[in-house]
Amino acid sequence: MDEPATAHRRVLYAFLRATARLAERMHVPARDMQDWTRLAYFHELRTAGMTVADVCGRLGISAPTGARLSRALKTDFLSPVEEEHDVPKRIALMLWSGPMSRARIGQILSSAPPDAIDKGIRTLLREGRVRERDGRTSTFEITHAEDRLVRPGWAARLGALSSLLDHVVDVVHARFFQESDTAFARTISLRMRKRDRDELRRFYEEQLWPFLKELEERARDADDPEPTRVSILWGQQSEER
């Protein structure tokens, strides 16, 4: 592997090339991409629980600039509808590591408003994705970690995109920088008849998905379960690249 600094630069550049490719197809000005890159960094650090002041220090920006980025994040990229889908997703992912109390969830999601966290928990309970477990301290736990619930609407699709890209980041980090054998990635290019597309979907629904559910059932009472995400996607290969 290259020297760490070079490896970091090259891996990040690969991600930026993919982003630039999509931006070029949508004719997004480069200036907007520069602004959004800094805003995304700001967003990630705030999500990690850092205060605006700490983020400003980390990014080397002034307090007024930090306040402007905070406003832009809330007005342009964190609509109430998107938060409604984002917070439950983040809570569910957290609970994969084990049951948590409401207080612990609030500590980890310190950047989310308390009422958004409470609403997110109620949403997960209503959908049956988590359950409340009584004890000295009430905790919440995942009911079935193989969740693949599909939700309609633009905000839900954005949430699904975020989840997919989060998974890509985890896999890339594990394979490039942790020398871990827990991550696996393959991209297969092939030709397919149009009439066989439905058969590919049936293979997923009738064979692959039941097998993944079986793996989850095996782990239910095991003493060494590992929270794992599996992403399956396919599509026609672009002729532009």
Indicate the domain borders of the chain.
4-77, 79-149+186-217
CA–CA separation, 121 vs 115, rounded Å? 10
Structure tokens belonging to residue 180 = 């871990």
* Domain 79-149+186-217: assigned CATH number: 1.10.10.10
**Is 173 in a helix, a strand, or coil?**
helix
CA–CA separation, 209 vs 190, rounded Å? 22
**pLDDT at residue 149 tops 60:** no
**pLDDT at residue 125 tops 60:** yes
Q: What is the pLDDT of residues 9-27, one digit of tens each?
A: 999 999 999 999 999 999 9
Q: Which pTM does this prediction carry?
A: 0.70
Report residue 98: phi and psi, to 5°: 145, 170
Q: What is the pLDDT of residues 195-215, one digit of tens each?
A: 899 999 999 999 999 998 888
CB-based burial, 189-201: b 16+ in 10 Å, e otherwise: eeeeeeeeeeeee
**pLDDT at residue 80 tops 60:** no
- pLDDT the model gives residue 2: 57
- pLDDT the model gives residue 83: 60
- pLDDT the model gives residue 87: 82
- pLDDT the model gives residue 148: 57
Average confidence (pLDDT) over 134-153:
72
